[in-house]
């Protein structure tokens, strides 16, 4: 391996070790939280007609919950790592190291993908005995997982770079990630919404991530799969462009 | 002589405040170089620019011939910086932290013996598996020093490494740095303990108000002001004769310190004046000017504006 590759692999390993050191917070807690959603909503809404024919409401719910956990945890992983490093001051170790913008970008995003893969796999394994799911389009499932996880990891990096204290990051989470993820059709099909909210949902990128993820399991969804994939890819590319610009110019990182 | 750090026309402003006025400085390979100045002089800004933490508005910096912006990877692999702030990553043990730091610089298992050697030399061996958050301030400072040296850089910058540390660490650190310097490492030191700079540094730059006031060898700097100090304790609390009053520099514990310009005032003339006035001397001491006297002289506000920029 070249020195640059060793540097990249070290940063990736360090970021994985960071969340691994607090696995209870970073993997177990989100799995339990999401399972509680499943328990409560599945019980409360079990008599409700499902959005898709032949699929129970509980089955409909699981993919959305998994993707919501992916979205929230991918964002949390990169944003919390960066803000902690900034507040503690140890970000100087990275800033003084011979690591370029692409190494920063790649290592933070890949580490977040490792974490959300663990969260998603744990959730699917735990729910499998109660809610067996078909997998109709595995490649779509994988593509959407990677695009959504990476996209939100990148947005987390942007938030971590912009934020100067934990309050700023909490604002990103409370006013951006949480509302968009709850209003993305996790708990319902958008066809059940009034026209205004139906159209508003189509401006929410998280809606396409969840809808496409459901397509991967059931083979059908609320909007055509190509449309969702374009939204997911577009979201990832746009956020990546912004993040890389920040890293290259040293925005908020270099004084 | 080859240049370890070349700084050319470096300017930096924060809003309306000019932090650096266009610094030109060459630090040679193998030097033990002191960068001194009062708080707010611009030392840390200059170091942070060299380290890549701060972006300069104009000018260029190179480390071992590599531009710190265009060839930042090559430059940073040749540079180790001990930051002034006591920063650490709370998620890792001391040994993990050092191995991670080595990895950032492209170093693998081949440096693990060197890491173990540094743990021994800096009295950290007993803390190798301790979490960083469990260490005392002094121990954290030792880890910071080891982190800066982990990739065996030919150039090391120590930004006030002994601020707030005990005598034992100071001695350990200077013994270690002196040995590395003997082996060819270029060391740049900023410190507020001027006796450290006087003892260790071969050449010194004094920075004030964002401009270099002087860059000279320590010997030249010490010889720069031809004066010496004469400390007298007069018998029976006698008062100094009027003619000598203008020479008084300080009064310490009942003793009077006179600042004598060697060309104008001889010690013999002072003794003669005291004898003529019938004043007996209880105790006498002489002291050559040290770096602190020269530092104060060079960074005094009312003179700084009149002095040409080196």
Inter-chain residue contact B92 with A17, CB threshold 8 Å = yes
Task: For residue B14, list chain A residues with Cβ-Cβ distance below 8 A.
Answer: 255
Q: Does B91 touch chain A (CB under 8 A)?
A: yes
Kindly calculate the radius of gyration of chain A based on its CA atoms and give it in whole angstroms. 19
Q: What is the mean pLDDT of residues B92-108?
A: 95
Least confident of A201-210, B44-53, B214-223: B214-223
Mean pLDDT of B10-29: 94
pLDDT digits (tens, 9 = 90+) for A157-215: 999 999 999 999 999 999 999 889 888 888 877 877 888 888 888 899 999 999 999 99
| A62 and A127 Cβ atoms separated by less than 8 Å | yes
Q: Identify the pLDDT of residue B302.
A: 41
Per-residue pLDDT at B75 exceeds 70: yes
Q: Which domain holds residue A125?
A: 3-249
CB-CB neighbors (< 8 A) of A99 in chain B: 104
Structurally, chain A folds into a number of domains equal to 1
Give the Cα separation of A55 and A75 in Å (integer): 30
Selected from 3.40.50.10490, 3.40.50.300, 3.10.620.30, 1.20.1630.10, the CATH number assigned to the domain covering B30-46+76-222 reads 3.40.50.300
B193 touches chain A (CB under 8 A): no
For residue range B236-283, what is the model confidence (pLDDT) as tens digits?
778 888 888 888 888 877 888 888 887 778 888 888 888 888 888 888
Cα–chain-centroid distance for residue A183? 15
Q: Is B55 on the interface with A (CB under 8 A)?
A: yes
A52, part of any domain = yes
* Tens-digit pLDDT profile for residues B135-182: 988 899 999 999 999 999 999 999 988 877 788 888 888 999 999 999
CA-based nearest distance A60→chain B, Å: 39
Task: Determine whether the interchain pair A254/B89 forms a contact, defined as Cβ–Cβ distance below 8 Å.
Answer: no
Q: Quick one: angle between helices B137-149 and B112-121, nearest 10?
A: 140
φ and ψ of B54, to 5 deg = -125, 140
> Is the predicted pLDDT of residue B307 greater than 50, yes or no?
no
Q: Is residue A131 part of a domain?
A: yes
Segment B195-206, tens digit of pLDDT? 888 889 999 999
Average pLDDT over residues B35-58: 93
Give the nearest chain A residue to B90 (CA atoms).
A88
List the single residue in A with minimal CA-CA distance to B147.
A93
Contact criterion met (CB below 8 Å) for B5 and B76: no
Contacts with B109 from chain A: Cβ below 8 Å: none
Instruction: Calculate the alpha carbon distances from A218 to A37, B211, B277 in Å.
Output: 21, 69, 110
Q: Is residue A254 part of a domain?
A: no
Residue B224's pLDDT is 74
> What is the reported pLDDT for A153?
98
Name which CATH class applies to B226-288: alpha beta
Distance CA B235, CA A144 (A): 93
Q: Is residue A255 part of a domain?
A: no
Distance CA B140, CA B85 (A): 10
User: Residue B8 above 90 pLDDT?
Assistant: yes
Kindly list the domain boundaries of chain B, sorted by start residue. 30-46+76-222, 226-288
Rounded CA-CA distance B248/B41 in Å is 29
What's the confidence (pLDDT) of residue B96? 94
Low-confidence stretches of chain A (pLDDT beneath 70): 48-51
pLDDT tens for each residue of B220-244: 887 777 778 889 888 877 888 888 8
**Mean pLDDT value across chain B:** 88
> In angstroms, what separates the C-alpha of A4 from chain B's closest C-alpha?
6
Per-residue pLDDT at A218? 93
Q: A43 φ, ψ to 5°?
A: -70, -45
> Among A21, A159, A152, A7, which Cα is nearest to A94's?
A7
Task: Tell me if B55 and A250 make a contact (CB, 8 A cut-off).
Answer: yes
User: What DSSP character marks residue A134?
Assistant: -
Interior angle at CA B64, CA B58 and CA B70, nearest 5: 45
Out of B74, B76, B85, name the one closest to residue A97 (CB): B76
Instruction: Give CA–CA dist A185/A190, Å, rounded.
Output: 6
Q: Looking at the predicted structure, is the pLDDT value of residue B87 above 70?
A: yes
Supply the ipTM of this predicted assembly.
0.89
Q: Evaluate whether residue A182 is within a structural domain.
A: yes
Cα first-last separation, chain A: 33
What integer pLDDT is reported at residue A49 of this predicted model?
63
What is the mean pLDDT of the segment spanning B5-22?
94
Over chain B, what HEC string results? CCEEEEEEEEEEEECCEEEEEEEEEEEECCCEEEEECCCCCCHHHHHHHHHCCCCCCEEEEEECCEECCCCHHHHHHCEEEECCCCCCCCCCEHHHHHHHHHHHCCCCHHHHHHHHHHHHHCCCHHHCCCEHHHCCHHHHHHHHHHHHHCCCCCEEEEECCCCCCCHHHHHHHHHHHHHHHHCCCEEEEECCCHHHHHHHCCEEEEEECCEEEEEEEHHHHHHCCCEEEEEEEEHHHCCCCHHHHHHEEEEECCEEEEEEECCCCCHHHHHHHHHHCCCCEEEEEEECCCHHHHHHHHHCHHHHCCCCCC
Do B30-46+76-222 and B226-288 share a fold? Answer: no
The pLDDT of residue A131: 86
């Amino acid at each position: 391996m070249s020195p640059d590759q060793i540097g990249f692999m070290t940063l990736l390993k360090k970021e994985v070790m960071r969340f691994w050191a607090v696995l209870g917070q970073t993997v177990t807690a989100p799995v339990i939280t999401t399972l509680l959603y499943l328990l409560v909503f599945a019980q409360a809404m079990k008599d409700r007609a499902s959005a898709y024919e032949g699929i129970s409401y509980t089955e409909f719910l699981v993919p959305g919950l998994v993707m919501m956990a992916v979205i929230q945890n991918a964002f949390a992983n990169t944003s919390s790592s960066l803000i902690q490093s900034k507040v503690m001051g140890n970000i100087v170790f990275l800033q003084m190291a011979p690591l370029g913008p692409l190494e920063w970008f790649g290592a933070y995003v890949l580490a977040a993908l490792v974490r959300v893969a663990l969260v998603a796999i744990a959730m699917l394994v735990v729910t499998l005995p109660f809610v067996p799911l078909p997998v109709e389009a595995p490649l779509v499932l994988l593509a959407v997982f990677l695009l959504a996880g990476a996209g939100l990891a990148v947005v987390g990096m942007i938030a971590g770079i912009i934020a100067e204290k934990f309050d700023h990051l909490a604002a990103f989470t409370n006013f951006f990630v949480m509302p968009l993820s709850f209003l993305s059709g996790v708990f319902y099909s958008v066809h059940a919404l009034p026209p205004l909210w139906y159209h508003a949902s189509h401006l929410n990128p998280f809606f396409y991530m969840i809808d496409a993820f459901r397509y991967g399991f059931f083979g059908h969804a609320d909007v055509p799969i190509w449309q969702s994939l374009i939204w997911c890819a577009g979201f990832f590319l746009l956020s990546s462009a912004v993040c890389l610009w920040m890293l290259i110019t040293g925005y908020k990182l270099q004084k | 002589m080859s240049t370890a750090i070349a700084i050319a026309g470096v300017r930096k402003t924060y809003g309306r405040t000019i932090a650096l006025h266009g610094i030109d400085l060459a630090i040679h390979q193998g030097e033990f170089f002191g960068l001194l100045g009062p708080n707010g002089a611009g030392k840390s800004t200059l170091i942070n620019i060299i380290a890549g933490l701060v972006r300069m508005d104009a000018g260029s910096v190179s480390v071992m011939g590599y531009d710190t912006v265009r060839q930042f990877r090559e430059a940073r692999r040749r540079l180790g910086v001990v930051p002034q702030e006591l920063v650490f990553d709370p998620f890792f043990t001391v040994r993990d932290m050092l191995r991670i730091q080595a990895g950032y610089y492209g170093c693998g298992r081949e440096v693990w013996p060197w890491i173990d050697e540094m743990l021994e030399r800096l009295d950290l061996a007993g803390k190798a598996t301790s979490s960083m958050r469990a260490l005392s301030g002094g121990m954290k400072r030792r880890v910071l020093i080891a982190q800066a040296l982990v990739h065996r850089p030919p150039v090391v910058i120590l930004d006030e490494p002994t601020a707030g540390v005990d005598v034992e660490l100071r001695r350990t650190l200077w013994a270690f740095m002196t040995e590395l310097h003997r082996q060819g490492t270029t060391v740049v030191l900023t410190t507020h303990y001027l006796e450290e700079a006087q003892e260790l540094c071969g050449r010194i730059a004094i920075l004030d108000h964002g401009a270099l006031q002087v860059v000279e060898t320590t010997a030249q700097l010490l010889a720069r002001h031809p004066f010496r100090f004469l400390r007298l304790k007069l018998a029976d609390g006698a008062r100094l004769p009027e003619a000598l009053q203008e020479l008084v520099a300080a009064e310490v514990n009942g003793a009077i310190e006179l600042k004598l310009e060697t060309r104008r005032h001889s010690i013999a003339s002072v003794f003669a004046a005291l004898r003529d006035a019938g004043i007996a001397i209880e105790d006498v001491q002489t002291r050559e000017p040290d770096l602190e006297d020269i530092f104060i002289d060079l960074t005094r506000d009312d003179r700084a504006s009149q002095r040409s920029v080196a």
